[in-house]
Structure 1
Amino acid sequence: MIIRFKLFATLIQSVPETLRERYPQGIRAGSPLEIDLPEGSTLADLIDRLALPREKVRVIYVNGRARKLDYRLVPGDEVGVFPAIGGG
């Protein structure tokens, strides 16, 4: 199933080379990306497939709603993955 996702801030640095190769124009924070996952995959599966360090992932939105790693994805879901963001 195809899942659309966006990575924000420093998470973009963790994108594996195999995914970068699919986007020769480059990948920037917030760029819409797609990945094919097996039916029944969870957000944890997505994070692992993208090789994102789990300790850096703080908030994940699916279709505009915050979700936990055990959320089961369905075709057409749009996911936003955010690291911890600080300010001062």
Structure 2
Amino acid sequence: MRVTLKLYASLSDFLPDEAKRTNEWPMDVPDGTTVGDMIKRHQLPARLVHLVLVNGHFIPPAGRDGRALVDDDVLAIWPPVAGG
């Protein structure tokens, strides 16, 4: 199935070079892949995975391993951000 991974701010360093301009990485993943699987597969540090959305809907930390992705899902992840 085809999903799109979007990584923002410092997490964009984990994208391949060709995806860094748009922060989007469309990819094929096996059926049954979960949000947690994607975080692990791309070696995203747990301390940097803060806000996680699938198609604009918040996925809390406790639900990430159980939330299976489906074809055409967009997984967006932001690190903690501080501002002033």
1:45 maps onto 2:37 in alignment: yes
Identity rate of aligned residues, in percent?
32
In structure 2, what is the Cα distance between the partners aligned to 1:66 and 1:51?
21
Does the 8 Å CA contact 1:37/1:46 hold for their aligned counterparts?
Answer: no
Query: Which residue is 2:13 aligned to?
Result: 13
Quote how far apart the aligned CAs of 1:12 are. 1.0
Deviations 1:10-33 (A, max 9, x none): 001233xxxx26x2xx514x5221
Aligned partner (choices 60, 81, 85) of residue 81 of structure 2:
85
- RMSD in angstroms over aligned alpha carbons? 1.7
Aligned partner (choices 52, 58, 63) of residue 50 of structure 2:
58
In structure 1, what is the Cα distance between the partners aligned to 2:82 and 2:72?
31
Q: How many pairs were matched up?
A: 80
TM-score relative to the length of structure 1: 0.79
TM-score relative to the length of structure 2: 0.82
Q: Which runs of 5+ in 2 are unaligned?
A: none
Deviations 1:10-66 (A, max 9, x none): 001233xxxx26x2xx514x5221122111111010111111112210011111110
In structure 2, what is the Cα distance between the partners aligned to 1:31 and 1:14?
10
Does the 8 Å CA contact 1:4/1:79 hold for their aligned counterparts?
Answer: yes
